[in-house]
Amino acid sequence: MTERSILVSVFTLPAPLTATVAGAAHPTRATFDVVNPATGEIFAAAPDASVADVDAAARVAHDAFPSWRSDPAARRVALHAAADALDAARDEIVPILTAEQGKTLAQSAREVGVAAAYLRYYADMELERQLLRDDADAVVQIVHRPLGPAAIIAPWNFPLIIAVAKIAPALSAGNTVVLKPSPYTPLSSLKVGEVLRGVLPPGVFNVLSGGNEAGAALTAHPLIRKISFTGSTATGKAIAAAAAADLKRTTLELGGNDAAIILDDADPAVVATGIFARAFHNTGQVCVAPKRVYVPEKLRAAVVEAFADLARDARIGDGTDPATQYGPLNNRSQRDRVAELVSDAVSQGATLAAGGSVIEGSGFFYQPTILTDISDGVRIVDEEQFGPALPVIGYRDVEDALARANATHFGLGGSVWGTDPERAATVVERVEAGMTWVNTHSATTFDQPFAGIKWSGIGVENGRWALEGFTEMQVIHQAR
């Protein structure tokens, strides 16, 4: 592994970023600090929304709803304009995203581009009125109605892609939005709020940063009619409970602990390269990434060695350094959690094939880590590590591998790897997960449903399924 020298981030915000409510800057009484994970230093402050601020945003979203919902043609034009505005502001947003999240500048640029593309994709999509029946008795039609103001609550690993994957279908379907980003990564969302002032009608898109209390106030607000949340399973359950009191509609995209199963006909170097790229992307902070690898005992040594070589060659460093492949963990507590899970595994007999240590310095860096001589029942196998440490577990036969892969409450993704794709496809159908892959993992597109099963989520994102999730069905039955 090549440890990059940790650059002192010179990035400072040209001006403090503000919350957006009713298409204008919204002052808050308090602010909170935002830390650059590459340096461990505070580099900015973000508005800390109070319950009163949340109330103000929900009210303006409610007031903006009737006119926004009534004009689909105007929505189409506005969403295309919003996409163009994001593209035009890319160079301003990218350094902000890297400074608060830690990912490389290239990955931040891609994230802004994908966010703009989501807006374009949904700008032109609509749920057509459906004629169900037209006979001697009746004409029956189905229409989809927007729900009202939607709360969108996002995590810190892909702050913009995850938020805009919700905002775009929400707005396209005629809802209005209050976005609350993670307190670890509020700035890129606040910036998007500023960029879209004057592009979207006032009140249609509001952005408030704040802590978990602001999120809870938003989910409990009586004017909010839909909650679309991505984050941990624990928070998802709290949100489901809060929503139940008012029967608010929810879409919950939650944690995962995806298994990658390697079959005995696999080429160790080929599959290790494919799995490593997906497991360590974004420094392992990807919901739908391989988080445990099951390999036949006879291939284990070769696969572990191939993974260890890749881990040792990985270039870790500040996201602003063009040579960096993998940035820091986003925050100190996540870095400490990964370190704790690795130490726990080693204390229970696991072998470190690569890595296993915090990279000293003020940033939140951790060595890419490969663990083996490990099995189910150890925390790093059973829990979601969400970081750059991968356990490689030997299995006896395919039945054994599937039983272990499926023995979890999680059900986000899963993959099967081998030289015979047909054989791998028959195995992957038995993986209990919402998204499954053969010889790849985490591959998603705008039109491919994104959905977890079991404790990994409720509801579907992407494609027309996301639009359906931001609407409710109305039956219009006309008697003849």
- Segment lying near ligand NAD (by CB under 6 A), choices 11-19, 248-256, 274-282, 420-428: 248-256
Contact status: 469 vs ligand NAD (CB under 6 A): no
58 near ligand NAD, judged by CB under 6 A: no
The CB-of-19 to ligand NAD minimum distance in angstroms stands at 14
Closest CB to ligand NAD among residues 200, 216 = 216
Q: How far is the CB of 432 from ligand NAD (least distance, A)?
A: 15
CB-nearer residue toward ligand NAD: 141 or 232 = 232
Kindly tell me the sign of the dihedral angle through the C-alpha atoms of 409, 470, 435, 101.
negative
Choices 177-185, 347-355, 356-364, 425-433; region in contact with ligand NAD by CB under 6 A:
177-185
Q: Which of residues 382-411 bind ligand NAD (CB under 6 A)?
A: 384, 386
Which is closer to ligand NAD, CB of 274 or CB of 284? Answer: 284
Q: Are 167 and 123 in contact (CB under 8 A)?
A: no
Q: Let me know: does 335 contact 355? Beta carbons within 8 Å.
A: no
Is 399 designated active site? Answer: no
Q: Between residues 85 and 220, which has the closer beta carbon with respect to ligand NAD?
A: 220
Please pick, from the candidates 23, 203, 231, 284, the single residue that binds ligand NAD as defined by CB under 6 A. Answer: 231
- Closer residue to ligand NAD (CB): 388 or 452: 452
Determine contact, residues 120/80, Cβ cutoff 8 Å: yes
Site for ligand NAD in 277-316 (CB under 6 A): 287
Residue 414 makes contact with ligand NAD by CB under 6 A = no
User: Using the rule CB under 6 A, which residue among 18, 28, 228, 235 binds ligand NAD?
Assistant: 235
Q: Determine if 106 is a binding residue for ligand NAD (CB under 6 A).
A: no
Number of residues that bind ligand NAD (CB under 6 A): 29
Amino acid at position 247, single letter: L
3-state secondary structure the chain: CEECCCCCCCCCCCCCCCEEECCEEECCCEEEEEEECCCCEEEEEEEECCHHHHHHHHHHHHHHHHHHHCCHHHHHHHHHHHHHHHHHCHHHHHHHHHHHHCCCHHHHHHHHHHHHHHHHHHHCCCCCCEEEEECCCEEEEEEEEECCEEEEECCCCCHHHHHHHHHHHHHHCCCEEEEECCCCCCHHHHHHHHHHECCECCCCEEECCCCHHHHHHHHHCCCCCEEEEECCHHHHHHHHHHHHCCCCEEEEECCCCEEEEECCCCCHHHHHHHHHHHHHHHHHCCCCCEEEEEEEHHHHHHHHHHHHHHHHHCEECCCCCCCCCECCCCCHHHHHHHHHHHHHHHHCCCEEEECCCECCCCCCCECCEEEECCCCCCHHHHCCCCCCEEEEEEECCHHHHHHHHHCCCCCCEEEEECCCHHHHHHHHCCCCCCEEEECCCCCCCCCCCECCCHHHEECCECHHHHHHHCEEEEEEEEEC
Residue 239 within binding range of ligand NAD, rule CB under 6 A: yes
Residue 216 touching ligand NAD (CB under 6 A): yes
Report in angstroms how near the CB of residue 451 gets to ligand NAD at its nearest. 9
With beta carbons less than 8 A apart as the criterion, state whether 419 and 404 touch.
no
To the nearest whole angstrom, how small is the minimum distance from the Cβ of residue 360 to ligand NAD? 25
215 part of the interface to ligand NAD, by CB under 6 A: yes
Residue 209 as a binder of ligand NAD (CB under 6 A): the answer is: no
Stretch binding ligand NAD (CB under 6 A), from 210-218, 313-321, 353-361, 469-477: 210-218
452 contributes a contact to ligand NAD by CB under 6 A: yes
Q: Rule CB under 6 A: is residue 232 a binding residue for ligand NAD?
A: yes
Comparison of 98 and 182: residue with beta carbon closer to ligand NAD: 182
* CA-to-CA separations, 408 to 183, 255, 435, in angstroms, rounded: 29, 12, 15
State how far Cα 156 lies from the chain centre. Answer: 8
From the candidates 287, 422, 432, 468, give the one annotated as an active-site residue.
287
- Is 429 one of the annotated active-site residues of the chain? no
Out of 253, 360, 422, 429, the active site residue is 253
Q: Which is nearer to ligand NAD, 68 or 156 (CB)?
A: 156
Rule CB under 6 A: is residue 157 a binding residue for ligand NAD?
Answer: yes
For ligand NAD, give the closer residue by CB, 39 or 209: 209
Residue type, 383: E
Among residues 80, 106, 113, 212, which is the contact residue for ligand NAD, using CB under 6 A?
Answer: 212
Instruction: Return the number of the residue (189 or 367) whose C-beta is nearest ligand NAD.
Output: 189
Catalytic residues: 253, 287
Return residues touching ligand NAD (CB under 6 A).
153-157, 162, 180, 182-183, 212, 215-216, 219, 230-232, 235, 238-239, 253-256, 287, 384, 386, 412, 452, 457
